[in-house]
């Protein structure tokens, strides 16, 4: 069975496992106050050129989103997200569980636009109508849920809009490596640190056992954040595991290599799908593809390949999702393309 189900189907990059094995019996203090975490934070501040940023390591994405948003907002303040945003759809109301509404705007290829942000803000009385929530934080993800990527211009427009309106900009980077290594991308790590108030570099979907590295650049969001992590159940006792893994993938830009590998395999698959004449839900330059297949063919493919159904398109056809990762072997793509040709 070849897996195209997601980018967290396997364990970790060999270098990561090697580091874990090597340090297994070293003793450290807990809760992320150990030397590995300090070292990883330093590498991240350097790589993203944000020397004054606070860096925290969290286990997963929903936890990171929930903790950041709940810590940033006062009780009546809300987040703005695309209607397809992960926090709006696929986190079982984790944001609302902390007391905050998610205000949505229609996505454009999975992306939120500066105009949509302005419209949502205006529709809530510019944050001043006391009968409505006050939008205060913009949540975007890069790459998006649909595998699309923000251009540098789009990110700049969103960032400037947020600053003009007094909104925080928070970027979910669960799939940041594929975004930054996608063909044509011009957004650099340092751009991110400059344009966002907080963002995270995803590890779970990019070759770690688990972990997201949160970077907070806005001073007003820094205070009390370790209290916030602990309160939301996110303070890992053996925090060193997070620091060590990130420290490992920051060396030699291993994180970007892993993302680039995922993208390359996706690009091969995408090219093959297009050659074969398949329609796609959206044109994605990263490691998630959404081709539309005939239902009978889907059933046949599932004998050999594991992947997700995305959405029904007609009575006879369904959009599916193929995801590649650092662990996807070229021969798996070859096998899938061969099966699609049959």
CB of 134 to a copy of itself, least distance (A): 6
CA atoms in the 13 A half-sphere facing the CB of 191: 18
Q: Which of 42, 119, 210, 313 binds a copy of itself (CB under 8 A)?
A: 210
Q: Residue 15, interface with a copy of itself (CB under 8 A)?
A: no
Q: Which of 105, 117, 169, 327 binds a copy of itself (CB under 8 A)?
A: 327
Q: Residue 27, interface with a copy of itself (CB under 8 A)?
A: yes
Considering beta carbons, is residue 275 or 304 the nearer one to a copy of itself? 304
Q: Residue 43, interface with a copy of itself (CB under 8 A)?
A: no
Class of residue 144 by CB neighbours under 10 A (exposed 0-12, middle 13-18, buried 19+): buried
Phi/psi at 315 (5° precision): -65, -25
Q: Residue 149, interface with a copy of itself (CB under 8 A)?
A: no
Question: Which residues of 38-197 form beta strands (DSSP E)?
Answer: 54-58, 77-82, 102-105, 134-141, 168-172
175-204 mask for a copy of itself (x: CB under 8 A)? Answer: -----------------------------x
Q: Indicate the DSSP class of residue 122.
A: H
Binding span for a copy of itself by CB under 8 A among 35-43, 69-77, 138-146, 288-296: 69-77
Residue 326 and residue 310: Cα distance in Å, rounded? 22
Residue 190 and residue 41: Cα distance in Å, rounded? 15
Residue 322 and residue 302: Cα distance in Å, rounded? 12
CB of 50 to a copy of itself, least distance (A): 23
Residue 202 and residue 206: Cα distance in Å, rounded? 7
Bridge partners of 102, per DSSP, are 79
CB of 242 to a copy of itself, least distance (A): 10
Class of residue 237 by CB neighbours under 10 A (exposed 0-12, middle 13-18, buried 19+): exposed
Q: Residue 59, interface with a copy of itself (CB under 8 A)?
A: yes
Q: Which of 15, 17, 42, 119 binds a copy of itself (CB under 8 A)?
A: 17
Q: Residue 282, interface with a copy of itself (CB under 8 A)?
A: no
Q: Which of 53, 209, 260, 301 binds a copy of itself (CB under 8 A)?
A: 209
Query: Taking CB under 8 A as the criterion, which residues in 219-278 touch a copy of itself?
Result: 224, 226-238, 241
Considering beta carbons, is residue 94 or 213 the nearer one to a copy of itself? 94
**Cβ atoms within 10 Å of 294's Cβ, excluding its own:** 13
Contact 100, 250 (CB under 8 A): no
H-run or E-run covering 266? helix 254-275
Q: Residue 71, interface with a copy of itself (CB under 8 A)?
A: yes
Query: Taking CB under 8 A as the criterion, which residues in 100-129 touch a copy of itself?
Result: 100-102
């Amino acid at each position: 069975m070849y897996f195209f189900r997601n980018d967290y189907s396997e364990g970790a990059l060999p270098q990561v496992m090697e580091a874990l094995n090597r340090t297994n019996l070293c003793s450290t203090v807990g809760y992320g106050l150990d030397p590995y975490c300090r070292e990883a934070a330093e590498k991240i501040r350097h790589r993203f050129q944000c020397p004054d940023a606070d860096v925290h390591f969290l286990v997963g994405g929903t936890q990171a989103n929930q903790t950041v948003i709940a810590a940033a907002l006062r009780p009546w303040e809300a987040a703005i997200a695309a209607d397809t945003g992960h926090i709006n759809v696929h986190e079982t109301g984790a944001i609302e569980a902390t007391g905050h509404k998610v205000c949505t705007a229609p996505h454009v290829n999975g992306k939120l636009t500066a105009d949509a942000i302005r419209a949502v803000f205006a529709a809530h009385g510019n944050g001043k109508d006391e009968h409505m929530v006050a939008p205060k934080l913009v949540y975007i993800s890069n790459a998006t849920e649909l595998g699309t990527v923000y251009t540098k211009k789009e990110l700049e427009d969103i960032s400037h809009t947020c600053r003009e309106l007094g909104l925080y900009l928070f970027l979910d980077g669960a799939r940041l490596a594929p975004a930054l290594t996608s063909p044509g991308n011009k957004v650099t790590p340092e751009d991110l640190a400059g344009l966002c108030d907080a963002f995270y570099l995803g590890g779970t979907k990019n070759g770690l056992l688990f972990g997201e590295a949160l970077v907070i650049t806005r001073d007003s969001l820094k205070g009390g954040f370790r209290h916030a992590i602990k309160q939301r159940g996110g303070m890992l006792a053996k925090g060193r595991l997070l620091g060590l893994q990130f420290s490992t993938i920051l060396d030699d830009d291993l994180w970007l290599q892993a993302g680039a590998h995922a993208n390359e395999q996706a690009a091969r698959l995408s090219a093959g799908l297009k050659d074969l004449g398949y329609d796609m839900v959206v044109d994605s330059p990263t490691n998630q593809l959404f081709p539309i297949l005939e239902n009978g063919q889907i059933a046949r493919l599932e004998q050999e390949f594991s992947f997700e159904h995305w959405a029904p398109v007609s009575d006879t056809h369904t959009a599916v999702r193929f995801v590649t990762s650092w662990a996807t072997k070229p021969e798996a793509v070859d096998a899938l393309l061969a099966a699609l040709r049959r």
